[in-house]
Amino acid sequence: MKDLKWKTLSSKYLFKDSWLTARQDRCEMPDGRIVDPYYVMEYKDWANAVAFTKDNKILLVRQYRHALGDTYFELPGGCIEQEDDSPLTGLKRELLEETGYTFEKFTNLGTISANPSTNDNITYMFLAEGGEKIQDQNLDPNEEIEIYTYSVKEVLDILDQHKMMQSLHVSSLYFALKKKGLLTFTPKG
């Protein structure tokens, strides 16, 4: 396969804040063509989990998302912070803060990107099993999160009704349900 990787010749920051960083790069393609400007959004890496409780229900959170101006179901998870020594540590912290649940077993399902053409971060996907509520939520000042537990069928109904809009969470559900043998496809042709 041909090497398609670009070389970054220079970068400058246009905006830097805790939740949004915009960078402008000047790049060279393998054939020598220059791409200038190329914009990159820098974000912290994220982690989320398809989290099964001890009674085999999937834990979902519901919260308002201002960019779309509506309230949606999502998977629990969030940003991996500097003090987290690994994506799994960050996920465990987020699960406890958002839901008050701890889990007996974690399976790494891999990584995905929201948009690798413009965003520099990745999302770590996990399957969490054996969840048990041990404390109340410990939310950030700008969070208001409702917690729900649903059967696999109910979660699939939520997807069919487009009540879960976060594409990274939909992708994580696919990988987790496939891993557990709860999602099967029969290809045609």
The CATH number of residue 105's host domain is 3.90.79.10
Let me know whether 74 and 111 are in one domain: yes
Parallel, antiparallel or unpaired: strands 46-53 and 123-133: parallel
What is the pTM (predicted TM-score) of this model? Answer: 0.92
Quickly tell me which residue has 């069928």 as its tokens. 153
Let me know whether 75 and 37 are in one domain: no
Let me know whether 16 and 91 are in one domain: no
Domains held by the chain: number: 2
Let me know whether 99 and 116 are in one domain: yes
Per-residue model confidence (pLDDT) at position 76: 97
In the chain, the largest separation of any two C-alpha atoms, in whole Å, equals 58
Residue 83 lies in a domain: yes
Confidence of residue 185 (pLDDT cuts 50, 70, 90): confident
Give the N- to C-terminal CA distance of the chain in Å, as an integer: 28
Q: Which helix (H) or strand (E) holds 178?
A: helix 167-179
Query: What does residue 5 show for φ and ψ, rounded to 5 degrees?
Result: -70, 135
Q: For residues 4-29, give the mean pLDDT.
A: 96
Residue 2 lies in a domain: no
What gap in Å lies between CA 54 and CA 170, rounded to an integer? 22
Given a cut of 90, is residue 189 above it in pLDDT?
Answer: no
Span 67-119, pLDDT tens digits: 999 999 999 999 999 999 999 999 999 999 999 999 999 999 999 999 999 99
What gap in Å lies between CA 43 and CA 17, rounded to an integer? 10
Given a cut of 80, is residue 169 above it in pLDDT?
Answer: yes
- Domain of residue 141 covers 46-179
Residues of the chain with pLDDT > 90: what percent? 92
Let me know whether 112 and 23 are in one domain: no
Confidence of residue 19 (pLDDT cuts 50, 70, 90): confident
Structure tokens at 132: 């048990």
Count of residues in the chain: 189
Span 136-151, pLDDT tens digits: 999 988 889 999 999 9
